[in-house]
Amino acid sequence: MGQKDLSEKILEDYQDVFADILNVLLFQGRQVVKPEELYDTKLRSHYRADNGALHEQERDIAKLWKKGGIIFTFCGLENQTSIDPDIPLRVIGYDGAAYRQQLLKQNKGQRYPVMTLVLYYGTKPWNSPKALKERLQVPEELDHYISDYQTHIFEIAYLTDEQVSMFQSDFQIVADYFVQMRKGQTYQQNTKIIQHVDAMLKFLSVFAKDQEYLNIDLSKHKGGQITMCVVLQEAIHQGKVEGEKIGRIAGRSAGIIEGEKIGISKGEDRFARLVQLLISSGRLDDIKKATEDSSYRHELYLTFKIL
């Protein structure tokens, strides 16, 4: 499942976003689930493997949906950035652990259903098993006795424009983003106000696989209304600043800035020569990576043998 930032709430874990996802994907936009009806619940569970070793498994997000003080259902969300043919087996493990927790509770009176929704953020159609029997080779004579298990996979990038418009939370921005990326069109900036800005940027950095979102400085907009327009404008501004910085270093590599010769420290000189080599070899994308990542810069030093 997708990487998560454990130090902060992931975007989908906010009550308004979680409820919004259920309302659109399950109830076609009807406001059936209320944010105040959702309660955090245990994410980790344990199972004993065939060799006797105890293992821990963790869901991405899970909440109890309560109505009138009674648990209506256990809802789990699992995020996928890539296609996994074993997803039916994994979901069975999560759901089975949730049912086992009910068996272990002191109060054996209440039993409630468990459901898991898989949110897939890839831009290629999910062409892998969605049900247990699709993943197994079941002998025909045993088919009647082998229980099937259906997983519910929602391909976010393939939602319709109508479905995207039904979202009322920050997830509308997320869904719109992935739909546009899948279509391969120039991104049309979403003007919806972002409610959970930090969580949104972290979410996009992980699931859109774009670390640029982590580097955007929105401090001067603190307290203001932030949209994706603002986010992208700041990204462009920071890109220009970094470009100017790289340009100055490249200038130093020629020993000239604004027509004057300057002194260069040993470390800066090596980086300047590295930039010059990258420019001359046409590897412009590597310049920015080298600026941000010291380990990558070291790797390039070794490649060009200039340490």
pLDDT tens digits, 28-60:
999 999 999 999 887 654 444 444 544 456 788
Could you tell me the strand order of the sheet in which 152-155 lies?
Answer: 38-40, 61-67, 70-80, 114-120, 152-155
Over range 220-236, report the average pLDDT. Answer: 76
pLDDT at 146 over 90: yes
C-alpha to C-alpha distance for 63 and 197, rounded to whole angstroms: 22
Q: Is the pTM of this model over 0.85?
A: no
272-282: pLDDT as tens digits: 666 666 666 66
Task: Return the higher-pLDDT residue of 116 and 104.
Answer: 116
Residues 6 or more apart whose CB falls under 8 angstroms from that of 192 comprise: 170, 172, 173, 227, 228
What mean pLDDT comes out for the span 218-234? 77
**What is the three-class DSSP state of 238?**
helix
**Torsion on CA atoms 259, 265, 269, 272, rounded to nearest 10:** -60
**What pLDDT digit, counting tens, does each position of 240-265 carry?**
445 555 555 445 444 433 444 444 44
pLDDT band at 169 (very low <50, low <70, confident <90, very high): very high
CB 220 within 8 A of CB 30: no
More confident residue, 101 or 128: 128
pLDDT in the model for residue 10: 84
